[in-house]
Amino acid sequence: MSPAPARLGRTGLLLLVGIALGWGLNWPIMKHVLTRLPPLSFRSFCLVAGGLGVLLLARRARQPITIPAHWRRCAKTRGCSTRWHWPTIRSLP
């Protein structure tokens, strides 16, 4: 006998609709914004807005915003592996 299929609850359905709308509206909005702003400026804005959003969520949840000791090495490695992006972006016309 096979188990009964799992049902998607109300919260799951709302999350699914939110993700679908966010994903679907992403391309038209990005196309519109990039006709008015340079790509690097837009990505910089997204980085700052996203970082501030994450800090705000952490503060509201009273979570620490320090990097735990066991993640510091990973954070340093990630910084080293992405340093080449800036010269690459600046060399594009």
Q: Supply the pLDDT for residue 82.
A: 67
pTM over 0.75: no
Range of 16's domain?
Answer: 10-91
Identify the pLDDT of residue 16. 93
Q: Can you give the pLDDT at residue 70?
A: 79
Does residue 4 form part of some domain? Answer: no
Give whole-number Cα distances, 17 to 20, 21, 25, in Å.
5, 6, 12
DSSP character at residue 2: P
Q: Which amino acid appears at position 44 of this protein?
A: S
Question: What is the band of 74 on the pLDDT scale with cuts at 50, 70, 90?
Answer: confident
Only one residue has tokens 């990973």, namely: 74
Q: Give the model's confidence band at 81: pLDDT under 50 very low, under 70 low, under 90 confident, else very high.
A: low
CA distance 33 to 41: 11
Instruction: Tell whether 21 is covered by a domain.
Output: yes
DSSP state of 93: -
In angstroms, the CA 19 to CA 12 distance is 11
Sign, Cα dihedral of 58, 46, 82, 28: positive
Identify whether 3 is part of a domain: no
78-89 average pLDDT score: 68
Query: Do the domain assignments include residue 40?
Result: yes
Beta strands in the chain (DSSP E): none
Does a structural domain hold residue 2?
A: no
6-65 tens-digit pLDDT: 787 899 999 999 999 999 998 898 889 889 988 888 888 888 999 999 999 999 999 988
**How many domains does one find in the chain?**
1
